[in-house]
Structure 1
């Protein structure tokens, strides 16, 4: 199992960095589109009653829409030709999804309500959340480049790794026992601190997410923003755990051997990406 997990992780990293370093933006946009389509399919599997006759059709239509959107964004002039698209995405979709993550998903996770109802609303939010994260990642890559995106992803990786090891070493108080019994407040604090330290450290390297924030904000405010993003990455992880417990499954799918599904790998990124975009809009 561990060997399979390591092989899959290495393969995923190779594909990701190959897309990031490839000439032109289309390889990464294509990769993000495929990943978003898979994650959305998995989200709908967790939230939409499988017996419902419309479930397969809805999932198929959502995947087609994402692939069509990806094809459109591969043309870098598309946002300039259709400025209304960016207005809708950046002024309506991304802020709305960000607010739901902060004010809605966070509350549900803290309450540990694994019996939360409203499959239709969870499905709608899933579509909007994946679209917002996808659009945010594409725009940040196009505007700021590969290193910027890697430094943002590293914030999430730092939070996840630090939360795991801090929780193992010092964890005593359960964070959300009805959602994810293994997570503790101590681990969450370690993850938040690690994300903050990473952003402050990477701010010394030109072109990073932290460097862009430091050019426009005082250091203390950058630290607060980094801590907030680290906390939101944990919320995203816990929210997926809630959906899986609600559906009675261990993984979102079996698409990634040893890792479960694509959504299992992207759960922390979904709330972080749109809010990171909001923090950096207008910054060049």
Structure 2
């Protein structure tokens, strides 16, 4: 009798290994940057991360040549610099940057919900490149806003834990119970189990953060 190997399991194991290795490498770097760096070096630190993200986003947008990806990363860095100069003169405008970022995610939800409708518009490379700016600039402003708050390091760590926790919870719940697909036209690998797993992990982290803040964090200076 001929036996057939299951190709899904090795791929899943490889994906898990990659995620773990990436977390082990990046998490210490982020933690050191968050707790050690003062405001201005922290601004450059997050700007560097955003610029690297722009390099990757350029590929998603359809700019696959190195020179075009480098140019896009430079444009995003220039936008970050201009934003920093504007906010230095008008710090009260920060709310408009954050509002623009929130508006973008509402638009993104609508785009996903109506997919594949509207692809004729946002499939254009220049539109996708602009969407990257709508993601990366508010991200930098948001980090800087948190850095200026009391207990800034703890707040930023909490945000990172929510993101990592949601992704991890969704991944493992989807692997275990992911039969019902969430949005097969958008991402065939995503499932409702993953959605609920990510949501449950986020709620658990929020509860733990509330307890920790009330009983411990306010007593120390972080």
Matched position secondary structure for 1:182: strand
Matched position secondary structure for 1:133: helix
Superposed, 1:14-29 pairs within 5 Å as 14-22=28-36, 24-29=38-43
| Aligned counterpart for 1:196 among listed residues 196, 203, 211 | 203
TM-score w.r.t. the length of structure 2 is 0.74
Task: Provide the aligned length of Structure 1 versus Structure 2.
Answer: 198
Q: Taking structure 1 as reference, are residues 6 and 171 closer, same or farther at Cα in structure 2, changes over 3 Å only?
A: closer
| Aligned counterpart for 1:185 among listed residues 176, 192, 198 | 192
| Aligned counterpart for 1:143 among listed residues 135, 143, 149 | 149
Cα pair 2:43 2:144 within 8 Å, conserved: yes
Name the structure 2 match of 1:97: 101
Superposed, 1:43-58 pairs within 5 Å as 43-50=57-64, 57-58=71-72
Shift of 1:23: 5.3
Question: RMSD across aligned C-alpha pairs, in angstroms?
Answer: 3.2
Aligned equivalents of 2:179, 2:93: Cα separation in 1: 44
Aligned equivalents of 2:34, 2:179: Cα separation in 1: 40
Q: Which has the larger radius of gyration?
A: 2
TM-score w.r.t. the length of structure 1 is 0.59
Q: Taking structure 1 as reference, are residues 4 and 122 closer, same or farther at Cα in structure 2, changes over 3 Å only?
A: closer
Aligned equivalents of 2:130, 2:62: Cα separation in 1: 10
Shift of 1:69: 5.5
Shift of 1:138: 1.3
- Normalized per residue, which structure has more helix? 2
Name the structure 2 match of 1:132: 138
Unmatched runs of 5 consecutive residues or more in structure 1: 213-284
